[in-house]
Amino acid sequence: MKRGGGSRNCPYLLSGPLRVHADDNQTAEVKLQSVHGSELRSGDGTAMSAVSTPAIETDGLTKHYDGARGIEDVSISVQRGEVYGFLGPNGAGKTTTIRTLLDLLHPSAGRAMIFGLDSHAHSRDIRARLGNLPGDFTCDTRLSGREFLQFCAQARGMNGLGSGPELGQRFEADLERPIGQLSRGNRQKIGLIQALFHEPELLMLDEPTTGLDPLMQEEFLTVIDEYRGRGGTVFLSSHDLDEVGRVCDRVAIIREGHVAAVERVAVLRGRTYHHVSIDFESPVDRGEFDRLPGITELECDGRHIAFKVTGALDPVVKAAARHTVLDMELTEPTLEEIFLTFYGRESGA
């Protein structure tokens, strides 16, 4: 998968200085005490969480609502500089997980650490360092985007609007009109800008491309790729498998409140099957391919054969090479198909 600027621009993964903003007019240098250790200190001696500490770590995180399932025993670890997908259908527990991480919901059991800090005890310190886009972004609709950003900036102790105006240009957002007069997609742009404008270390995004037109979705994915390249961490909740597949390094699949699987996207793809379709010059024996390991759903009508193959492709290629091949098509499964292998079709995902 294409990666952004990588560690060259990533102050957190190298032993270079980490900039800490006391406010907009004051930038303090932080010296790394130990790259692999557990503590960093700022110039004034303030303890900082270590670069090696996961950005997010949950241990048996559970949230029950009155008589309803929320999430159950969710244990995940999101490394710094990673784009981590949180994939599941509506109602699976994605939003509950994010809202519990943000301390909007108090866990029924288990705990969550963000930057090595307890998500409840240090909630305010954590929220100063992250940007969040809720699943249904809403704010005082009488405010313009600029006024809303000004409020966010003041609440974050900033003197200006950070990179808000530049992001506004990039997303072609109207920062002057009252938010209530904007379309859903344009409101979502304001939501994305407020999540990013203060240059957070961690982005929590819940269905971020909802309402965005295809061009803006592309722009958003580019922004996320750049953000990762410059050292940012992203926790991306989505039910859009293609979106997750394009930007995420790893993905957790959540089903009915439980994490069903956590896997690198590349590995996830690699572990699954391929669709193979071959046209031969002359008819072939069906049994010749049926006997190969990992072949399923084989269809053969003489000179054309199609099947799914799980695992290595080498036996298929060698078997086909014994004949004259006119055409061969190898198709990777979509993430949706992979997703369905985890979920089972009966889930209706």
Partner 1 sequence: MSAIARPSTQVPVPQARPAPDWPASLRAVVRRGLRDQRRSILTWGLSLGVYGAFMASIYPSIQNSVEKIAKNYPESLKQAFGVQAMSTVEGYIHAEMFSLIVPLALGFFAIRAIAGATVGAEERGRLDTILALPISRRVLITGAYLVTAVACALIMAMTGVMIYLAARIAGTSISLGLVAAGVMGVWPLTLLFAGVAALAAGALHSARTVTGLGLGTLVGMYAVDLAGRLAPSLDPIRWASAFRYYGAPMRDGIDPVSFLGLAGVGVLLLLAAAVLFDRRDVLN
Binding region for partner 1 (CB under 8 A)? 9, 11-12, 18-23, 30, 46, 48, 99, 102-106, 123-125, 127-132, 134, 136-140, 142, 151-152, 154-157, 162-163, 166-167, 169-170, 172, 191, 194, 196, 198-202, 204, 215, 218-219, 222-223, 226-227, 230-232
If the CB atoms of residues 85 and 131 are measured against partner 1, the closer one turns out to be 131
Contacts of 224 (CB under 8 A, 6+ apart): 83, 203, 234, 236, 247
Are β-strands 39-42 and 117-118 bridged in parallel, bridged antiparallel, or unpaired?
Answer: unpaired
209 neighbors 240 (Cβ within 8 angstroms): yes
Q: What are the start-end ranges of the H helices in the chain?
A: 94-101, 123-128, 145-155, 164-170, 184-196, 214-229, 241-247, 265-270, 286-290, 314-320, 335-343
Q: What is the closest distance, in whole angstroms, from the C-beta atom of residue 10 to partner 1 in the complex?
A: 9
If the CB atoms of residues 215 and 321 are measured against partner 1, the closer one turns out to be 215
Q: What is the closest distance, in whole angstroms, from the C-beta atom of residue 129 to partner 1 in the complex?
A: 6
Task: List the one residue out of 242, 308, 300 whose CA is nearest residue 274.
Answer: 308
Q: What is the closest distance, in whole angstroms, from the C-beta atom of residue 207 to partner 1 in the complex?
A: 13
If the CB atoms of residues 132 and 238 are measured against partner 1, the closer one turns out to be 132
Q: What are the structure tokens assigned to 224, written together? A: 């996320």
If the CB atoms of residues 195 and 295 are measured against partner 1, the closer one turns out to be 195
116 neighbors 50 (Cβ within 8 angstroms): yes
**Residue 105: DSSP 8-state:** S
Q: In this structure, is the dihedral angle defined by the CA atoms of residues 297, 301, 306 and 309, taken in order, positive or negative?
A: positive
Q: What are the structure tokens assigned to 339, written together? A: 């997703």
Q: What is the closest distance, in whole angstroms, from the C-beta atom of residue 280 to partner 1 in the complex?
A: 41
Q: How far is CA 30 from CA 34, 38, 78, 108, 337, in A?
A: 12, 14, 23, 36, 46
If the CB atoms of residues 156 and 264 are measured against partner 1, the closer one turns out to be 156
Q: What is the closest distance, in whole angstroms, from the C-beta atom of residue 93 to partner 1 in the complex?
A: 15
If the CB atoms of residues 77 and 163 are measured against partner 1, the closer one turns out to be 163
Cα–Cα distance measured from residue 9 to residue 226, given in angstroms and rounded to the nearest whole number:
10
Q: What is the closest distance, in whole angstroms, from the C-beta atom of residue 170 to partner 1 in the complex?
A: 5
Q: What is the closest distance, in whole angstroms, from the C-beta atom of residue 9 to partner 1 in the complex?
A: 7
Q: What is the closest distance, in whole angstroms, from the C-beta atom of residue 184 to partner 1 in the complex?
A: 14
If the CB atoms of residues 225 and 295 are measured against partner 1, the closer one turns out to be 225
Quickly list DSSP for 248-292: -SEEEEEETTEEEEEEEHHHHHHTSEEEEEEEESS---HHHHHTS
If the CB atoms of residues 20 and 298 are measured against partner 1, the closer one turns out to be 20
